[in-house]
Amino acid sequence: MDVIDRPVLAGASERAGAPAFEGFVRTGQTLELKAFTGVTGDAGGYALPREIDAAIDRALASISPIRRIANVVKVGSAGYRKLVTTGGTPSGWAAETDARPGTATPVFQEVVPPSGELYANPSASQAMLDDAAFDVEAWLADEIATEFARAEGAAFVTGSGVNRPKGFLTNPVSAAADATRAFGTLQYLASGAAGDFAANPQERLIDLVQALRAPYRQGASFVMNAATVARLRKFKTSDGAFIWQPGLAAGQPATLLGYPVVEAEDMPDVAANSLSIAFGNFRLGYLIAERSDTAILRDPYSNKPFVGFYATKRIGGCVVNAEAIKVMKFAAS
């Protein structure tokens, strides 16, 4: 019978007459041992799999919530127009047999929301997509969605209107009342001091609320950033009661003078002549027009061995009714 030569057991060396391992089994003779551990890489550590958490944590971006309180419409093309009437339709009183002369017709204003295309074009190698311990494609899609939400939220507040939405704070402002202001101009109320509130700041806030006419106050809300919220939460009435009321249940917004407060980090901090507080019915006052949902094109061909993820979103926005939004200007007048 042929004898098949096999390599001796790892870590053992052959001795004259018998394999070393057989000698250890029979007599307890000590072998020459080598450490094989995961403590260092070349001693076996490289062979141990690294376990990576499949959920990638990230620092959360501050996303403006204007979309949640504004009027969002889906459009079929970039040439969206909206008609707004000003002044209403005049009417008159007459007796049963009196003549009915003609009344004036409403005045129409055309509103064209400025729009632009928001895009991102990240890429990943095919090897990364194949070998990563987590779903890279799903992670990239989520990152793109988060970045788009942040970018569009900033545009709804301070956007220039050039290849992007026009933010409501970039509209012209005036201290004139609704009946005398030019169309598209927001009314502001002064805080009473440059970069601060004057005495009795809660009275200035009441003036801001009452400047918005009653038909718009149903569904109105305050909009400001967290730093401004911190200021207002400390204000008290003359009897020591806070004018800020926290939400009584999870998910319920806090209220200021009975109206919900929306924190939008794109609103400016309190400074001289800043428009740091807005109050209004944004569903009636601000329009967001979007062509469609975010589209993502997977491109594995243009830049081998990388796979591109080309994401686009066409979106526009502007103020459609300046009477529905008021702002507070931190100035003496």
Return the bridge partners of 74, or none.
290
The residues of the chain that CATH labels 3.90.1690 are 66-86+106-329
- Residue whose tokens read 């061995």: 305
**Burial class of residue 232 in the structure, from the number of CB atoms within 10 Å of its CB (0-12 exposed, 13-18 middle, 19+ buried):** buried
The two tokens of residue 58 are 């990230």
Tell me what the pLDDT averaged over the chain comes to: 84
> How many other CB atoms are found less than 10 A from the CB of residue 16?
4
Is-contact 260 209, C-beta < 8 A?
A: no
Question: Cα separation of 282 and 284, whole Å?
Answer: 5
pLDDT at 11 over 60: no
* DSSP-derived secondary structure for 127-149: HHHHH-SS-HHHHHHHHHHHHHH
Rounded to two decimals, what is the model's pTM?
Answer: 0.78
pLDDT at 33 over 70: no
The two tokens of residue 170 are 């970039």
Residue range 240-280, pLDDT digits in tens: 788 888 877 777 788 999 999 999 999 999 999 999 999 99
Give, in words, the CATH class of 66-86+106-329.
alpha beta
* Residue 265 three-state SS: coil
* Residue 197 three-state SS: strand
The two tokens of residue 184 are 């598209």
- Of 290, 269, 287, residue with least CA distance to 227: 269
Query: Where residue 50 falls among pLDDT bands split at 50, 70, 90?
Result: low
Residue range 56-91, pLDDT digits in tens: 565 656 777 899 999 999 887 767 888 887 777 788
